Amino acid sequence: MKRSSDRARGLLAAGLVALAAGGPADDDDLTWTQATSAAPWSKRWEHTSVVFHDRMWVLGGRDGGFEHNDVWSSADGITWTRATSSAPWGRRYGHTSVVFDGRMWVLGGQIRGSHMDDVWSSADGITWTQATPAAPWGGRTNHTSVVFDGRMWVFGGRHSRTDDVWSSADGITWTQATPAAPWSGRLHHTSVVFDGRMWVLGGRDSTTDDVWSSADGITWTRATSVGELSRRYDYTSVVFNRRMWVLGGYDGVPNDITSSADGITWTRATSAAPWTRSTYGFPRSERRGHTSVVFHDRMWVLGGGDWGGRDGGGLMNDVWSSP
- CATH code matching the domain that covers 4-322, chosen among 3.40.50.620, 2.120.10.80, 3.40.1280.10, 3.40.430.10: 2.120.10.80
What values do phi and psi take at 311, rounded to 5?
Answer: -100, 10
Alpha helices in the chain (DSSP H): 4-7
Give the pLDDT confidence of 40-91 residue by residue, as tens digits: 999 999 999 999 999 999 999 998 778 999 999 999 999 999 999 999 999 9
Q: Where are the domains of the chain?
A: 4-322
Asked if 61 and 46 count as a contact pair (C-beta separation under 8 A), the reply is yes
55-59, 111-115, 122-126, 275-279: range with lowest mean pLDDT: 275-279
User: Looking at this protein, which amino acid is placed at residue 115?
Assistant: H
Find the mean pLDDT for residues 291-316: 82
Beta bridge partner(s), residue 84: 71
SS3 66: strand
Distances (CA, A) of 279 to 8, 216, 232, 250, 311: 35, 43, 20, 15, 12
* Residue 94 to residue 110: CA distance in whole angstroms: 6
* Average pLDDT score over residue span 169-179: 98
Query: What's residue 312's pLDDT?
Result: 52
Q: What is the pLDDT of residues 200-237, one digit of tens each?
A: 998 887 556 789 999 999 999 999 755 445 677 788 99
Rounded CA-CA distance 244/306 in Å is 23
Write down the pTM of the prediction: 0.87
Tens digits of per-residue pLDDT, 4-23? 333 333 333 333 332 332 33
Find out whether 20 and 230 touch, Cβ atoms under 8 Å: yes
Please enumerate in sequence order all residues whose Cβ is within 8 A of that of 24, keeping only pairs 6 or more positions apart, or say none. 267, 268
